[in-house]
Structure 1
């Protein structure tokens, strides 16, 4: 039996187990399982490895995409480029190798969603965690200038209080990389001045449960284009499967 799974702190919102179980069933892949492993802290990762010696690959989600690094033997170029890990490969020689497929998933998903390029292609990245790092890496590859937005006034980007109508007008693409709005807390959303959004904006939410977050709903109310993170999930999951089976 080859075991795969997802580690994170709270996984009730995740579709990863359903995705892979359906994949195994549809393709007739036998001898594989996919489980959810909620860890109260990353220090429990070693205990998990001891309990599950058949682990062949892991996905990593909030808040461990950066905290997992000390438990790895090396990181692949994708993770080094992003600065965060969302896939752990268990190599045949026993090495644990960190990869990042989030940026691949976002890059390919946003490429078909946001058509603007060049000087007008500004983006605002909401949040400063591991997911936002993957998004920034993808935006750099796509040549889309961007600002990071967080609550931290001492951070390297903007705060939500800095989001004037002029700033929003110059950055039509807005990406929610925070967990705000994830089920069951569906009544939360990033504190963006939504009344300054227009039909020219594109709101991309990395959250996929619920399928329409309050962030997306508020954008749709003014005519903005919206997209959730389900396609990104599928693309990054397939990229992870390739890594585990290379």
Structure 2
């Protein structure tokens, strides 16, 4: 007998995704035995056909790269949060057949920081300038009282980040990637770059550093996160972000008021340890 309610994560590549582990752990803890959550390898070209084939059994979708912007034209509406960064990572299929997009990465970042006691900072630094960096700026709009310095590799990326800052109401300043070690004097540093990119910066972490939010979770810890911890700084990792944004997805897709954060995190940690 097939499950009565379906959800899944879509992206390319997708084999590495921990989302099925987290969502299935939530369903088990909540007693949702008739729910299933899978992963599908879907690229931008295949996305319209996949979405067109969704029937009434589907409750929601999680989107990862490269689909967070490609999904928007296929939806009936998106939240203000998603619109602020032009990125959707969550789609809820409503009972009346509408497909509504949201972005749980932004509140997920805020929740992950709050869990570690970071609720307000006077300034911050962002390493990188991709899609995750714009989400980081949106999160910082709510918790950073002063300027955010983005360390980037090109003037074009610098222009993009300043543009996002204007749009999101954040005082964004830009600096060259070669000067990225200067970021470590900020009370909060958000690293949004691909695996390996910040490894060379690990030796420059000062004693008594503030908080590092490194959005990677595999491999973990990154060289930067390990050095940060060794020097007494506070570290928030990619699994923290992944779990908090997934908690919000589960709540939106299932309608439960409170998803089981602890069970989801434990499942994620166990899956990473097994890799």
- TM (norm. structure 1) is 0.84
Q: 1:45 to 1:115 in 2, by over 3 A?
A: closer
Provide the residue aligned with 2:211 in structure 1: 202
**CA displacement 1:18-46 (0-9 Å, x = unmatched):** 1111222222202211011122x212112
Output one character per residue of 1:43-84: Cα deviation in whole Å (capped at 9) or x when no partner: 211222345433220111122222322222211122123331
* Equivalent position of 1:232 in the other structure: 241
Q: Deviations over 1:123-175 (max 9, x none)?
A: 2222323322222111111134312333233223333123353x532x23211
Q: Report the equivalent of 1:55.
A: 58
The 3 A distance-change label for structure 1 pair 65 and 154 is: same
Give the superposition deviation at 1:13: 2.6
CA distance in 2, matches of 1:112, 1:21: 23
What pairs with 1:108-127 in structure 2 (closer than 5 Å)?
108-113=111-116, 115=118, 117=120, 121-127=122-128
Q: Secondary structure at the match of 1:58?
A: strand
Q: Distance in 2 between matches of 1:31 and 1:122?
A: 46
Equivalence map 1:152-167=2 (5 Å): 152-155=154-157, 156=159, 157-163=174-180, 165=182, 167=183
Question: Is residue 219 from structure 1 mapped to residue 234 from structure 2 by the alignment?
Answer: no
Counterpart of 2:197?
Answer: 189
Report the RMSD for the aligned CA atoms in angstroms.
2.3
Q: Which residue of 2 aligns with 1:70?
A: 73
1:174 equivalent among 181, 189, 194: 189
8 Å CA contact 1:4–1:57 kept in 2: the answer is: yes
Alignment deviations for residues 151-209 of structure 1 (CA, whole Å, 9 cap, x no partner): 233223333123353x532x23211223x22xxxxxx2336633332122321111223
1:42, 1:64 within 8 Å by CA — same for their partners in 2? yes
Q: Given the two structures, how large is their TM-score scaled by the length of structure 2?
A: 0.76
CA contact (8 A) 1:78 1:99 kept: yes
DSSP-derived class of the 1:193 partner: helix
Is the 2:199–2:223 contact (alpha carbons within 8 Å) kept by the matching residues of 1? no
The answer on whether the counterparts of 2:11 and 2:64 sit within 8 Å (CA) in structure 1 is: yes
What CA distance in whole angstroms lies between the structure 1 residues aligned with 2:238 and 2:125?
Answer: 16
User: What corresponds to 1:3 in structure 2?
Assistant: 6
Change (3 A) 1:160 1:90: same
- The residue aligned with 1:135 is 136
CA distance in 1, matches of 2:28, 2:118: 36
What is the alpha-carbon distance in structure 2 between the residues aligned to residue 114 and residue 151 of structure 1? 31
Whether 2:32 is the aligned partner of 1:23: answer: no
* 1:5 positional shift: 0.8
User: Shift of residue 106 of structure 1?
Assistant: 0.6
Question: How many residues are treated as equivalent by the alignment?
Answer: 234
Contact 1:65 1:130 in 2 (8 A): no
State how far apart, in whole Å, the 2-side matches of 1:96 and 1:158 are.
40
Q: Which runs of 5+ in 2 are unaligned?
A: 160-173, 256-275
Q: Please say if residues 126 and 177 of structure 1, whose CA atoms lie closer than 8 Å, have aligned partners that are also in contact.
A: yes
